[in-house]
Structure 1
Amino acid sequence: MEFFKAIYLLPLTYIIFQLCKMVLQWRDQCCYMIDYQCYKATEDRKLNTELCANIILRNKNLGLEEYKFLLQTIVSSGIGEETYAPRNVVSGGEQCPTLPDALSEMDDTIYNTLDELFARTEISPSSIDILVVNVSLLAVVPSLTARIVNRYKMKENVKAFNLSGMGCSASLVAIDLVKNLFKCHDNAFAVVVSTESMGPNWYCGRERSMMLSNCLFRSGGCSMLLTNNRSLTYRAILKMNCMVRTHLGADNEAYECCIQMEDDLGYLGFRLSKGLTKAAAKVFTMNLRVLLPKVLPLWELLRYTINKLSNRCDGQNKVRGAGAAGLGLNLKTGVEHFCIHPGGKAVIDGVGKSLGLSEDDLEPARMALHRFGNTSAGGLWYVLGYMEAKKRLKKGDRVLMISFGAGFKCNNCVWEVMRDLDEKGVWKDCIESYPPKPQLVNPFMEKYGWINDESLSFIRLD
């Protein structure tokens, strides 16, 4: 009888919950995205196969095994030949970075994207009420937000925030900050700038767990314009439906799995430990347990509940069927697109497996990684840009953004597409060639694939 009571009460409880949520959402301020602009560096900063190998080989702190490790990592990284590096790295100055190098890198990314954003939206910088900049690895005085306020002569009462140390998911942290500020600022405009300082943080030591960042991270960034003005709904491209942030900083193992530190030789770098996979899986599952009831339809939640109760009645502990992170739920019943942070091939594969996604679902993240690499907090927007350039985003579609960051944290959100999107943006010059047919071409494998052959391990690198 308890089983049947649960079946009857669940729909009623869900309806009451949805009505309460609708009332609260109506009282709450909305968050619309008017436009976004990703950064694309100049051709002289491209990291082709030969240049990547040269950068590795000119590090005199490395031995044969370290050279081999780095080449093996690049070969299997899923990154192509057209990603971008900071100028000081391309020119050979990674071992002695200067503050002017760092500021030049930031100015190039930030001003390029903001100039284009203001021009496209025809919104004056003087109209901006909230400004949030997130750059994890660079803190300067005056702040980067102050440099922007000075450059664009923004008004004196602009609310400026400079976020640091938030890692690859900082973009969603910044947007969540804006969303909450909208609650006490009516009809406001907000700009979020997400990028990363790569030049001064190129690792020149020999610790393998710290060399990984050189193989994966590349130059990039994005600027976004948001508003809570309902009268501008017709101009919006996306509407924020919900966001869930989960932080495992209280767990020592999770806290230390992504951390900036010095190695034994005094070289500063970013260490990625073996505990990263475990921390990511744990925080991802915790996040989804909160997020999924907000986005999935009633019938999917009902199906899951019935299956779970049936399994208990049968004395089974395992939940049947494919689902999200082992929860037994099908996300595709509530989300049409999956915007996964292109942190690396392992990240994309892991998320895809845990959510039961197809290769078509993973294609945008894989292509963004191949074309632009891991651009840290800006990476999500290159993935979204790919979806838009491929004309996948239609009015009413929902996009789940999934991001992980140092701390360790997982920040996920769902956007609703407000109109059909087809801008090509930074993908304009190459979208027709993606995805490569018949399969993703790996130029590093073609030239350095022999590095994985154990029978050739006696070969010495000159």
Structure 2
Amino acid sequence: MELLLIVSLVVALSYAFSCLIKSFLRRRDQCCYMLAYECYKPPEDTKLSTASCAQIVHRNKNLGLDEFRFLLKTIVSSGIGEETYCPKNVLEGREETPTLVDALAEMDEVIFTTLDNLFAKTKSFMSPSKIDILVVNVSLLSTAPSLTSRIVNRYKMRENVMSFNLSGMGCSASIVAIDLVQHLFKNHKNANAIVVSTESFGPNWYCGKEKSMMLSNCLFRSGGCSMLFTNNRSLKERAILQLKYLIRTHLGADDEAYQCCIQLEDDKGYQGFRLTKKLTKAASKALKLNLRVLVPKILPMREILRFSISNLRNKKRHSKTSGQSAMDQVSIGLNFRTGAEHFCIHPGGRAVIDGVGMSLGLSEFDLEPSRMALHRFGNTSAGGFWYVLGYMEAKKRLKRGDRILMMSFGAGFKCNNCLWEVMKNLEDVNVWEDCIDKYPPKTLVNPFMEKYSWINDDYLGFVRLER
């Protein structure tokens, strides 16, 4: 009897130990490493200078004096410089009559250029035939065959490649795509994944006069990025980043949040993207809910305890902050630098960067990469993160062991944030190679203000008569 009990105990302990080992190995294989990324730099002949921007504005016959004033004011305060890039059909004056050929040509240029460069950079250990997972996110274009199929056909990928085409996910789609890859890695060992993030702007240029829909023309610019990921631990030494945490928040059930950032047609039938004044409120609410989950994972316990004690002691004082904006009140008092050394805020616009920076108590040094990416490349939608990351790398800020907090907002309304750990010192000048030494400039002088601040009602009236 005693022998039977001993044998049973040994078997039970062996089984438990085996389960623990399997669990450990399973978790170990669920890692997500970024091996490389490649941002798109459009050709020089698509650069949107101050003059070309003015020409595009002037030829919109639907604009009146009030709309001209609004556009000038918006462009001047946008934080965008005059070295951003625009779709060819818009520069050529065909924004009102885009074709499917234009749309596909725009996508092929971004996607194939970045993928060609990515595979060239990693040719010593990676090739298209080794890709197991392919995810493409383009919110405003869905073709048949899909964009992923165009990539599979171009690079002759394997017949069992898992492809996913994401649309309608907005500016935070890049994080959504990475989350999908991370979940697939949990069930596929030693897998390699490609994520392509860009946006179709050419066929979606707004040609009407509604102010809330004209904003997108002022902010969005051509760009994109292709990224290579793996959970193969034998490639860990080649990794540049490791994903530590990723939290997604979705406010689609809230009608106000759902409507604040939406694609539709105006009363004249012009299709565009409407950004309402409720966007800031939706962003602050989504960010607050997201941080409730993310903060305990990324901040040390001592900082959370310090904040909790301080918050209790100053309850009375905090109750008097009702005059602050919703964004200001998201995380008063928490020191986010105890959980991350770098902050990669989606360069969606100056108001977004300022709001998140004030909310998290960040310095101008922390916000510099996002501000510079917005100034140089504009809002490139889901690809914007990687221009910010590229700036940090080109400035040699990223050292092994550093942590990067990425924060994004998108239509829906969504807030998707994640934390990365830097795996090695990063120093590639990448897409910033030709201009990194000029950034940051001493002052971000807006070229539109310099060249068009003299515009008055008499001039606008003359332009209207001319047209």
- Matched residue SS, 2:97: coil
Is residue 29–residue 233 contact of structure 2 (8 Å, CA) maintained in 1? no
2:357 pairs with 1:352 = yes
Q: 1:304 to 1:371 in 2, by over 3 A?
A: same
Q: Name the counterpart of 1:133.
A: 136
Q: 1:309 to 1:74 in 2, by over 3 A?
A: closer
Measure, in 2, the Cα distance between the counterparts of 1:315 and 1:326: 15
Q: Name the counterpart of 1:284.
A: 287
Where does the alignment leave 5 or more consecutive residues of structure 1 unmatched? 1-21
Measure, in 1, the Cα distance between the counterparts of 2:391 and 2:199: 21
Q: Name the counterpart of 1:379.
A: 384
Measure, in 2, the Cα distance between the counterparts of 1:422 and 1:385: 9
Matches within 5 A, 1:314-333: 317=319, 325-333=330-338
Matches within 5 A, 1:27-426: 29-122=30-123, 123-311=126-314, 317=319, 325-426=330-431
- Matched residue SS, 1:436: coil
Measure, in 2, the Cα distance between the counterparts of 1:327 and 1:45: 43
Measured after TM superposition, the shift of residue 152 of structure 1 is 0.3
Measured after TM superposition, the shift of residue 457 of structure 1 is 4.1
Measured after TM superposition, the shift of residue 176 of structure 1 is 0.3
Q: Name the counterpart of 2:452.
A: 448
- Matched residue SS, 1:363: helix
Is residue 206–residue 272 contact of structure 2 (8 Å, CA) maintained in 1? yes
Q: Name the counterpart of 2:4.
A: none
Measured after TM superposition, the shift of residue 307 of structure 1 is 2.0
Measured after TM superposition, the shift of residue 54 of structure 1 is 0.4
Give per-residue Cα distances to partners, 1:261-292, cap 9 Å, x unaligned: 00000000000011101000110111111111
Measured after TM superposition, the shift of residue 305 of structure 1 is 2.4
Q: 1:137 to 1:168 in 2, by over 3 A?
A: same
Q: 1:373 to 1:330 in 2, by over 3 A?
A: same
Is residue 75–residue 449 contact of structure 1 (8 Å, CA) maintained in 2? no
Give per-residue Cα distances to partners, 1:313-353, cap 9 Å, x unaligned: x897579xxx9823431101111000000001111111111
Measure, in 2, the Cα distance between the counterparts of 1:335 and 1:169: 20
Measure, in 2, the Cα distance between the counterparts of 1:316 and 1:339: 28
Q: 1:324 to 1:291 in 2, by over 3 A?
A: farther
Question: What letter is aligned with 2:333?
Answer: G
Is residue 396–residue 419 contact of structure 1 (8 Å, CA) maintained in 2? yes
2:435 pairs with 1:430 = yes
- Matched residue SS, 1:270: strand
Where does the alignment leave 5 or more consecutive residues of structure 2 unmatched? 1-22, 322-327
Is residue 38–residue 223 contact of structure 1 (8 Å, CA) maintained in 2? yes
Is residue 283–residue 409 contact of structure 2 (8 Å, CA) maintained in 1? yes
What is the TM-score when the length of structure 1 is the normalising length?
0.91
Tell me the number of residue pairs that the alignment of Structure 1 and Structure 2 aligns: 433
Is residue 340–residue 348 contact of structure 1 (8 Å, CA) maintained in 2? yes
What is the TM-score when the length of structure 2 is the normalising length?
0.90
Measure, in 2, the Cα distance between the counterparts of 1:211 and 1:78: 16
Measure, in 2, the Cα distance between the counterparts of 1:24 and 1:119: 32
Is residue 324–residue 330 contact of structure 1 (8 Å, CA) maintained in 2? no
Measure, in 2, the Cα distance between the counterparts of 1:315 and 1:113: 52
Is residue 324–residue 355 contact of structure 1 (8 Å, CA) maintained in 2? no
Measured after TM superposition, the shift of residue 308 of structure 1 is 3.1
Measured after TM superposition, the shift of residue 199 of structure 1 is 0.4
Q: Tell me the C-alpha RMSD between the 2 structures.
A: 1.9
Q: 165-174 or 299-308, which moves further after superposition? A: 299-308
Is residue 65–residue 457 contact of structure 2 (8 Å, CA) maintained in 1? no
Question: What letter is aligned with 2:429?
Answer: K
- Matched residue SS, 2:330: helix
Measure, in 1, the Cα distance between the counterparts of 2:156 and 2:317: 67
Question: What letter is aligned with 2:160?
Answer: N
- Matched residue SS, 1:271: strand
Give per-residue Cα distances to partners, 1:126-164, cap 9 Å, x unaligned: 100000000000010000000000000000000000000
Question: What letter is aligned with 1:396?
Answer: G
Question: What letter is aligned with 2:121?
Answer: R
Measured after TM superposition, the shift of residue 184 of structure 1 is 0.6
Measured after TM superposition, the shift of residue 28 of structure 1 is 6.0
Measured after TM superposition, the shift of residue 218 of structure 1 is 0.3
Q: 1:366 to 1:391 in 2, by over 3 A?
A: same
Measure, in 2, the Cα distance between the counterparts of 1:310 and 1:72: 44
Measure, in 1, the Cα distance between the counterparts of 2:262 and 2:320: 36
Q: 1:316 to 1:277 in 2, by over 3 A?
A: closer
